[in-house]
């Protein structure tokens, strides 16, 4: 087990290095590179630019610059926002809570609803429910998230007036109920794609499990059907879903960006778009690197967790 974890950890570190190299390359693709902020100002002469360039160490060879940049990233120095000079990590940190709230809620909805749909679909394979769920999932995966958000706002905010059209709370309120009221629409919109994916994977995982010998044995022993389902089938069918959860993480993050934009949710995704609008490259790069690192960590944790619950993985 220790060996598997060490192996997987080494892979993750190697990936982090490649990911950071890609990030560094993108940073230098920016018009004017890291100097763009200064180059935009008309008062800067070429001599000024050269001086700043030397001060920032941009005249050194690229590999040295990369190592410097990478070690500062590891040390938590991710640069400062062009907009207000705040440290990039603390800007990200102040928006993380809202994004996490949205993602966690959507995940809970997706896991509960998706598992239910997937399990029922597997148990009644090719029934009307199963067919509708399969077709429905395909359509759900094809609807642009932002458009589903617009339709939700139109129906539930404009026409019915049941839900607020955006923001995380009513100014001056901010009670738990108010927060919840604002959370419903963006969380459901974000959950749509996740539910569809979770349901599809759950269905195939469950189908694989219920045809196993040990399920037949359990039935033959006379264990009640629901108990076979919950204790024997579902528990085993949920194991591979750990990997699915890890794989779905990038989609969830991307979906959050879109949902936050449509619902003016003050999270990391919206911050990202705002920063792009202001050409605030340090924050843009910071969020890009941060999300990639989170995805990397997510799949690492998923793999290790899977190895913990399923011993076959560690050996094989």
Interacting residues toward other proteins by CB under 8 A: 14-15, 18-19, 22, 26, 29-31, 135, 138-139, 141-147, 150-151, 153-154, 158, 250-251, 253-254, 257-258, 261-262, 272-273, 276, 279, 284-285, 287-288, 291-293, 295-296
**CA dist., res. 159 & res. 141, Å (int):** 26
Q: From residue 281, how far is each of 34, 116, 140, 285 by CA, in Å?
A: 8, 43, 34, 6
Report d(CA 112, CA 191) in Å as an integer.
Answer: 11
Take residue 292 and report the two structure tokens written for it.
């990639």
Least distance (Å) between residue 227 CB and other proteins: 35
Which tokens hold the place of 248?
Answer: 């779905």
Q: How far is the CB of 152 from other proteins (least distance, A)?
A: 11
Supply 175's token pair.
């009670």
Q: CA–CA separation, 50 vs 158, rounded Å?
A: 55
32: Cβ contacts below 8 Å, ≥ 6 apart: 38, 39, 40
For other proteins, the closer of residues 206 and 256 by Cβ is 256
Q: Which is nearer to other proteins, 45 or 142 (CB)?
A: 142
Structure tokens at 233: 């089938």
Rounded CA-CA distance 243/1 in Å is 18
Kindly report the number of other CB atoms within 10 A of residue 208's CB atom.
13
Q: What angle do CA 184, 186, 187 make, to 5 degrees?
A: 65
Task: Quote the CA–CA distance of 202 and 240 in Å, as a whole number.
Answer: 9
Minimum CB separation of residue 47 from other proteins in Å reads 26
- The minimum distance between CB 173 and other proteins, in angstroms, equals 23
Q: Which two tokens stand for residue 285?
A: 């790069």
- Closer to other proteins by Cβ: residue 209 or 280: 280
- Pick the closer one to other proteins by CB: 15 or 44: 15
CB 49 within 8 A of CB 35: yes
Task: Rank residues 191 and 253 by Cβ distance to other proteins and give the closer one.
Answer: 253
| Closest CB 262 distance from other proteins, rounded Å | 7
Contacts of 211-217 spanning 24+ positions with Cβ under 8 A: 212/236
Closer residue to other proteins in complex, CB, 148/236: 148
Name the minimum Å distance from CB 187 to other proteins.
18
Minimum gap (Å) between residue 215 Cβ and other proteins: 25
In the bound state with other proteins, the residue whose beta carbon lies nearer, of 145 and 195, is: 145
Name the minimum Å distance from CB 293 to other proteins. Answer: 8
Burial of 247 (0-12, 13-18, 19+ CB in 10 A): middle
Residue number with CB closer to other proteins (126 or 226): 126
């Amino acid at each position: 087990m220790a060996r598997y974890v060490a192996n997987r950890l080494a892979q993750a570190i190697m990936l982090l290095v490649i990911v950071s190299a890609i990030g560094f390359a993108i940073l230098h693709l920016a018009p004017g590179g890291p100097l763009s902020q200064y180059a935009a100002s008309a008062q800067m002469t070429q001599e000024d630019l050269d001086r700043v360039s030397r001060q920032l160490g941009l005249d050194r060879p690229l590999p040295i610059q990369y190592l410097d940049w990478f070690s500062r990233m590891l040390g938590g120095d991710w640069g400062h926002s062009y907009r207000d000079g705040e440290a990039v990590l603390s800007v990200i940190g102040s928006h993380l809570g809202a994004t996490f709230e949205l993602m966690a809620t959507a995940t809970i909805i997706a896991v509960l609803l998706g598992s239910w749909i997937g399990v029922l679909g597997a148990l009644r394979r090719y029934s009307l429910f199963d067919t509708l769920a399969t077709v429905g999932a395909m359509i759900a995966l094809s609807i642009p998230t932002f458009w589903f958000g617009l339709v939700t706002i139109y129906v539930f905010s404009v026409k019915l007036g049941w839900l607020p059209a955006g923001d995380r709370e009513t100014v001056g309120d901010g009670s738990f109920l108010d927060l919840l009221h604002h959370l419903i629409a963006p969380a459901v919109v974000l959950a749509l794609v996740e539910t569809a994916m979770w349901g599809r994977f759950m269905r195939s995982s469950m189908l694989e499990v219920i045809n196993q010998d040990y399920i037949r044995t359990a039935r033959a022993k006379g264990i009640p059907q629901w108990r076979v389902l919950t204790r024997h089938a579902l528990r085993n069918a949920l194991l591979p879903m750990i990997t699915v959860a890890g794989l779905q993480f990038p989609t969830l993050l991307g979906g959050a960006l879109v949902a936050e934009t449509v619902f003016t949710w003050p999270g990391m995704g919206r911050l990202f778009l705002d920063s792009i609008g202001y050409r605030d490259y340090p924050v843009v790069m910071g969020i890009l690197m941060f999300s990639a690192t989170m995805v990397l960590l997510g799949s690492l944790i998923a793999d290790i967790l899977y190895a913990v619950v399923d011993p076959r993985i560690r050996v094989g």
